[in-house]
């Protein structure tokens, strides 16, 4: 019988190896990170919601008058009986998102109130996105920010009533969850490419097609260089798989992968004009954002390496 | 932590098992379809005649749609149903002046050879609708009528 076995009539004995695994799992999912980091992250995410709804996603608001034969509700819309948007309901939703998001960014009040505000933002933004994608075209750049918004319902991201430098395992859980959602998008995108097109995706003309459809000066330069585009496709899908290394807790490899993610998105934006902002902004969940928090700055010297669990910092 | 694990599990299920219908847990399928280097690239737009005689080219955003949404629900090899065209014209006319009296859905096709887009393009009209006020030329679209959209099947 192994050391973890239980004798008849006795309580189960937890082995040392089980304790080690449980401890490692706990350290990974609940790293002690500064609460101020999540507080800054919360404001960044809510500001992004505000920008997308009132600036970048104007096309969603335009769905309010789209021809009704094109309304094709996704499953979640059918389940809750969400009707197609009208000019009135769309304007109302924008107002709700706008007011709730500004309140969330201002970030005052007790924790329960902030949870409630964040819940209003999360559910109303989800409704906005469901209206966006219920006309037959689903983009895959929204999952991470939706996860972030619901994480902020559970952990509202506040340093009220505490030292700004205090660490918090729940703040760590929230940021870790967002990091995982962010990173998963890359290997799963690569997997979907192989699932839909096989290994032939690499030698296909998928980049050329995207450039023809959404061209830019930068992209047009590549359009006449198919070998370069194919090499780019090979590098792209390889990098998407390698992005899982960003799930490591620490280390240079994680930093390299995250820098690569930024470069990948810059290339995509330059070539075909797609910024994936609601997704890409979530890379900030990896950064030592507490250094931007006024109260953290007031109590610490910027550049101090004394933050608890600094191993979680990108670059550390 | 259970919530996190549920997120991970449903994200994986979305990629391995589900379709876009499962949004937000849909597969990450943008740019996942690799086309042959010797295939064609198609885009769609509207061409319209207005009540004042002006002929205009319009993109889908004019009527509250993204181009990809129009293209996803419009088979480029089939005739667009008149009721869809009429609904598009009605939306346009609600928001613009002068009225649209004639509407065509146009497919622009560019050939690719060895992955290089060729110069020149082929234009095909797959839908033609007009109201009583229009007296100009029409295109007889000799294609089978499009079936209703097949849903979020892939």
ipTM: 0.93
B125 within a domain of the structure (yes/no): yes
B66 within a domain of the structure (yes/no): yes
| Cα Rg of chain A, angstroms | 23
Regarding whether B26 and B88 lie in a shared domain, the answer is no
Q: Percentage of chain B with pLDDT > 90?
A: 89
Regarding whether B61 and B12 lie in a shared domain, the answer is no
Contacts of B125 (CB under 8 A, 6+ apart): B104, B105, B106, B107, B139, B141
Helix (H, G, I), strand (E, B) or coil at B56: strand
Between CA B15 and CA B29 the distance in angstroms is: 8
Q: Percentage of chain B with pLDDT > 70?
A: 99
Regarding whether B124 and B103 lie in a shared domain, the answer is yes
Given a contact cutoff of 8 angstroms between Cβ atoms, the answer to whether B129 and B86 are in contact is yes
The gap from C-alpha A149 to its chain's centroid, in whole angstroms, comes to 9
Mutate to test the interface with A, among B8, B23, B36 (most CBs of A within 10 A): B23
**pLDDT tens across the length of chain A (316 residues):** 344 444 454 556 778 887 888 888 889 999 999 999 999 999 999 999 999 999 999 999 999 999 999 999 999 999 999 999 999 999 999 999 999 999 999 988 899 999 999 999 999 999 999 999 999 999 989 999 999 999 999 999 777 767 767 888 999 999 999 999 999 999 999 999 999 999 999 999 999 999 999 877 788 888 889 999 999 999 999 999 999 999 988 788 999 999 999 999 998 888 888 889 999 999 999 999 999 988 777 776 555 544 444 455 443 3
Regarding whether B23 and B50 lie in a shared domain, the answer is no
Query: How near does any CA of chain A get to the CA of B3, in Å?
Result: 9
Mean pLDDT of all residues belonging to chain B: 94
B93 within a domain of the structure (yes/no): yes
Q: A204 to chain B: which residues are within 8 Å by CB?
A: 34-37
A75 contacts B24? CB cut-off 8 A: no
Regarding whether B114 and B89 lie in a shared domain, the answer is yes
Regarding whether B89 and B44 lie in a shared domain, the answer is yes
Regarding whether B125 and B54 lie in a shared domain, the answer is yes
B13 within a domain of the structure (yes/no): yes
pLDDT at residue B63, as a whole number? 97
> Token digits for B18?
């589900």
pLDDT at residue A1, as a whole number? 37
> Token digits for A147?
């996860």
Instruction: Report the 10 Å Cβ neighbour count for A113.
Output: 12
Mutate to test the interface with A, among B28, B74, B94 (most CBs of A within 10 A): B28
- Backbone phi and psi for residue A161, each to the nearest 5 degrees, phi listed first: 75, 15
Regarding whether B51 and B28 lie in a shared domain, the answer is no
Domain that holds residue B120: 40-130
Q: A209 to chain B: which residues are within 8 Å by CB?
A: 35, 39, 41, 112
Regarding whether B72 and B110 lie in a shared domain, the answer is yes
Regarding whether B44 and B26 lie in a shared domain, the answer is no
B135 within a domain of the structure (yes/no): no
Regarding whether B104 and B74 lie in a shared domain, the answer is yes
B109 within a domain of the structure (yes/no): yes
Sign of the alpha-carbon torsion through A50, A51, A54, A56:
negative
3-state helix, strand, coil in chain B (%, to 5): 25, 25, 45
pLDDT at residue A250, as a whole number? 78
Q: In Å, what is the CA distance from A267 to each residue of A217, A222, A224?
A: 13, 12, 17
Residue of chain B nearest A75, judged by CA positions = B21
pLDDT at residue A299, as a whole number? 74
Contacts of A279 (CB under 8 A, 6+ apart): A141, A142, A143, A144, A145, A182, A185
B29 within a domain of the structure (yes/no): yes
pLDDT at residue A10, as a whole number? 56
Q: Which of B12, B33, B90 sits opposite A196 (nearest CB)?
A: B33
**Which DSSP symbol is given to A84?**
P
Regarding whether B64 and B20 lie in a shared domain, the answer is no
Q: Where residue B72 falls among pLDDT bands split at 50, 70, 90?
A: very high
**A230-259 residues touching B, CB cutoff 8 A:** 230
Query: How near does any CA of chain A get to the CA of B50, in Å?
Result: 19
Query: How near does any CA of chain A get to the CA of B113, in Å?
Result: 10
Between CA A156 and CA A151 the distance in angstroms is: 8
pLDDT at residue A316, as a whole number? 33
**For residues A270-279, b (16+ Cβ closer than 10 Å) or e, as one string?**
ebbeeebbbb
B72 within a domain of the structure (yes/no): yes
Q: Which of A137, A147, A188 sits opposite B68 (nearest CB)?
A: A137
Q: Where residue B154 falls among pLDDT bands split at 50, 70, 90?
A: low
B24 contacts A142? CB cut-off 8 A: yes
Torsion of CA A132, A134, A136, A140, to 10 degrees: 50
Q: A69 to chain B: which residues are within 8 Å by CB?
A: 83-84, 87
Is residue A221 less than 8 Å (CB to CB) from chain B? no
The total number of structural domains in chain B stands at 2
């Amino acid at each position: 019988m192994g050391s973890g076995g239980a004798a008849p009539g006795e309580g189960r004995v937890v082995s040392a190896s089980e304790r080690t695994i449980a401890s490692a799992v706990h350290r990974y999912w609940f790293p002690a990170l500064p609460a101020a980091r999540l507080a800054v992250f919360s404001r960044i995410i809510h500001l992004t919601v505000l920008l997308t709804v009132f600036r970048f996603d104007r096309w969603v608001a335009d769905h309010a008058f789209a021809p009704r034969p094109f309304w094709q509700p996704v499953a979640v819309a059918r389940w809750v009986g969400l009707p197609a948007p009208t000019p009135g309901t769309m304007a109302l939703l924008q107002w709700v998102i706008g007011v709730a998001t500004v309140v969330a960014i201002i970030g005052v009040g007790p924790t329960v109130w902030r949870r409630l505000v964040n819940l209003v933002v999360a559910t109303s933004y989800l409704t906005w996105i469901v209206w966006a994608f219920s006309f037959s075209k689903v983009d895959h750049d929204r999952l991470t920010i939706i996860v972030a918004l619901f994480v902020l319902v559970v952990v509202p991201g506040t340093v009220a009533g505490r030292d700004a430098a205090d660490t918090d395992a729940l703040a760590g859980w929230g940021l870790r969850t967002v990091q995982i959602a962010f990173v998963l998008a890359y290997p799963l995108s690569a997997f979907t490419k192989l699932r839909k097109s096989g290994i032939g995706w690499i030698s296909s003309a998928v980049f050329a097609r995207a450039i023809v459809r959404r061209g830019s000066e930068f992209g047009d330069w590549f359009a006449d260089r198919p070998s370069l585009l194919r090499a780019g496709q090979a590098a792209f899908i390889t990098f998407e798989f390698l992005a899982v290394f960003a799930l490591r807790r620490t280390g240079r490899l994680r930093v390299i992968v995250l820098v690569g993610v930024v470069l990948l998105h810059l290339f995509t934006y330059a070539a075909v004009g797609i910024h994936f902002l609601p997704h890409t902004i979530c890379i900030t969940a990896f950064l030592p954002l507490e250094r931007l928090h006024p109260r953290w700055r007031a109590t610490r010297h910027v550049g101090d390496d004394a933050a608890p669990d600094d191993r979680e910092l990108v670059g550390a | 932590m259970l919530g996190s694990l549920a997120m991970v599990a449903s994200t994986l299920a979305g990629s391995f098992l589900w379709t876009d219908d499962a949004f937000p847990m849909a597969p990450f399928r943008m740019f996942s379809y690799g086309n042959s280097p010797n295939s064609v690239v198609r885009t769609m737009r509207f061409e319209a005649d207005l009540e004042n005689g002006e002929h205009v080219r319009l993109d889908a955003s004019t009527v509250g749609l993204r181009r990809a949404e129009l293209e996803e629900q419009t088979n480029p090899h089939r005739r667009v149903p008149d009721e869809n065209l009429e609904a598009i014209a009605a939306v346009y006319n609600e928001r613009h002046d002068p009225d649209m009296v004639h509407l065509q859905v146009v497919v622009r096709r560019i050939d690719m050879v060895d992955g290089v887009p060729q110069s020149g393009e082929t234009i095909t009209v797959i839908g033609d609708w007009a109201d009583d006020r229009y007296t100009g030329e029409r295109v007889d679209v000799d294609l089978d009528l499009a079936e209703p959209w097949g849903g979020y099947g892939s």
